Structure formats: C-alpha cells, structure tokens
C-alpha cells in the first residue's frame, strides 16, 4: 500500500516509521519551514527515532495524490485547514485515516465529520485511536489500539494491513463513542495532572471511575453507545494519559496548577471547551470536565474547583 503520512511531529513520525516497518511504501509530509521536517531531511532523525532510508520525505502536500491511503497526524484544530488543502489539490478515491483526538472548537464537530464534510463522499474516512506512547513503542513495548469507520470494508482492510508485532488493532463498532471518548480522555488527563500538581494523586482512582461515567452520558447523548467509554479509546487509554510521564495532557495539568508554562501540545485544553458546550446543549452533567474548564478558562482556583467535586450532593454511585 502507498501511504502518505501528513504531520511530522512525535506521533506522525512514529506512524511513518511503524507503517514502513509493516511493509508499506511511506512518504512523510511536513510543512516547508518545519523544524521537524528539516531535521529529518538533514539527518533522518528526531528525538525518538531514526527514519529508515525506505521512507521518503516531502514538503509538498500534493504528494498525497500518489497515495492509496492518507494518514493525518496533526493538531486537531488544524484539521479543517489541512482538509481544505487536500481538497484544493483534488484528491479522490483515497482512504483518509485520522490519528488525532479532539473536537473542533469552532463547530463542536467530531474530527471524522470535519474531514468527511470537507473531502466529500469520494474519499473514505477512518480513525486510528487508543493508547500508546512513541517512547515505549520504539523500545518494542506493544499495545492495543482501535480502527473505526462507518465503512466496514475500509475498517476491515486497515485493521488487516496495519496490524503488526507492536500494535494489535481491534475493529471499532461505534465511531461516535470512540471519537468522543478519545477526545475526552485528554481532558481527564489534564485533571489527573492537576491532582498530581496539588499533591493529591491518590484521587486518581475516583477520577477514572467518575470520569468514565460522565463521558458515558455524553456519548449516549450524542447518539453513540455509552459502553464505548469503557473501551480502548477512553478508559483503556487512561494508563497512558492519567499516569504516564510521557503524557502531554497530564504534564500540562500538573504544571498549570503550579503556575508554570508547558510548551508541548495538550489537546485537552482545546477539547474541554466544545465538550462543555455540547453537554449544555444536550442537558448532560459533566462535573469533572466543567471543573477543568472553569480552572483553565474562568480563573477558578484549582484546589477550590477540584475540592468542590467532593462537596456535591450525596448520591448513589450508579
């Protein structure tokens, strides 16, 4: 299979490396002027891996025209712009695989909706989601992930073509639930980091249990299957997001409550805003996500906000 990977950051470069390793002909695209792409062109290396000679590099997005499958790994809020660029070069008959986790801030759309509406029915959309960190994959530590799509043939083909020794792929059965769950776990990751920063990490157990429960409600309200919140795309990704030293979202939350800046992308910062708006629109209660939003956007004191979760009215667990 000929594959173009759009996005040469930490995850995109790993995907190019991994798909080459599983036998595909891969081109990695990065913007002209991108520091990451400059390093690959000059040294074939970044901070995590060395790209094999069999992987090609390009700074011209029209390289996607020659691919059978286009894998996109960029910031979630940049997807609309990149889809517009792909639409302009006239791609058709492609499978577009989205490897980001988020919700479009300006519209509240899931990322498959953003891509589908921009690129049209002549291209098929799938998502690649679930737990895993580049630092561990590169060391040979395996994990399980999910591929989902509204097109059963596309889903089946990608699971078969992308599976390898490092990643066991499962067939997703709920595109809505998997996308919302994957996006929401980054918000829970920020909350976990805030607990770490405040020295109350012992509450992570309660955070995971109650966080999964509230995301279950949001998924159902959006028309998905609430049980997806307990799958690989949400609860199954908590170890990598709520506890791992490699988690950008957890680290962002930890530094935020300490008054320190974080220079890496934390998708949960952007995702929490449309999540809260979707919940209000559907009349769904998301207490943890609401507290994270209030801390990040409404200048709520972190300790006061998180402590407030324990002064809510007493109720049954289920």
**What positions carry a catalytic annotation?**
185
* Strand partners for 147: 128, 171
Counts of helices then strands in the chain (DSSP H, E): 13, 8
- Whose CA is closest to 207, among 148, 166, 173, 249? 249
Residue 139 makes CB contacts below 8 A (sequence gap 6+) with: none
Distance CA 215, CA 154 (A): 27
Q: State the DSSP H helix or E strand holding residue 149, giving kind and residue range, or none if neither.
A: strand 143-149
Contacts of residue 204, defined as CB under 8 A and 6 or more positions apart, other chains included, come to: 192, 195, 242, 243
d(CA 121, CA 163): 26
- Provide the angle, in degrees to the nearest 10, between the axes of the packed helices 287-297 and 267-282: 130
Two structure tokens written together for 15 = 């995907």
The residues near 227 (Cβ < 8 Å, ≥ 6 apart) are: 177, 216
Residues forming beta bridges with residue 96, ordered by sequence position: 70, 125
């Amino acid at each position: 299979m000929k594959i173009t990977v759009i996005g040469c950051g930490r995850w995109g470069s790993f995907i190019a490396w991994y798909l080459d390793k599983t036998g595909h002909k891969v081109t990695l695209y990065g913007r002209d002027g991108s520091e990451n792409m400059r390093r690959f062109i000059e040294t074939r290396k970044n901070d995590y891996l060395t790209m094999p000679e069999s992987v090609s590099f390009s700074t011209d997005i029209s390289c996607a025209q020659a691919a059978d499958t286009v894998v996109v790994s960029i910031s979630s809020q940049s997807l609309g712009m990149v889809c517009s660029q792909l639409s302009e070069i006239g791609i058709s008959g492609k499978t577009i695989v989205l490897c980001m986790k988020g919700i479009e801030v300006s519209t509240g759309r899931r990322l498959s909706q953003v891509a589908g509406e921009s690129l049209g029915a002549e291209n098929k959309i799938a998502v690649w989601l679930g737990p895993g960190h580049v630092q561990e994959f590169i060391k040979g530590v395996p994990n399980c992930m999910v591929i989902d799509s509204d097109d059963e043939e596309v889903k089946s083909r990608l699971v078969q073509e992308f599976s390898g020794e490092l990643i066991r792929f499962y067939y997703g059965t709920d595109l809505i639930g998997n996308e919302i769950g994957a996006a929401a776990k980054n918000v829970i990751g920020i909350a976990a980091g805030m607990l770490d920063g405040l020295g109350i990490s012992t509450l992570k157990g309660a955070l995971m249990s109650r966080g999964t429960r509230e995301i279950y409600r949001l998924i159902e309200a959006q028309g998905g299957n609430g049980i997806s919140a307990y799958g690989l795309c949400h609860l199954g990704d908590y170890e990598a997001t709520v506890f791992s030293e490699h988690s950008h979202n957890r680290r962002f939350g930890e530094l935020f409550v300490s008054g320190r800046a974080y220079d890496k992308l934390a998708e949960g910062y952007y995702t929490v805003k449309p999540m809260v708006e979707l919940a209000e629109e559907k009349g769904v209660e998301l207490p943890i996500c609401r507290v994270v939003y209030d801390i990040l956007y409404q200048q709520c004191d972190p300790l006061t906000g998180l402590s407030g979760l324990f002064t809510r009215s007493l109720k049954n667990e289920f």
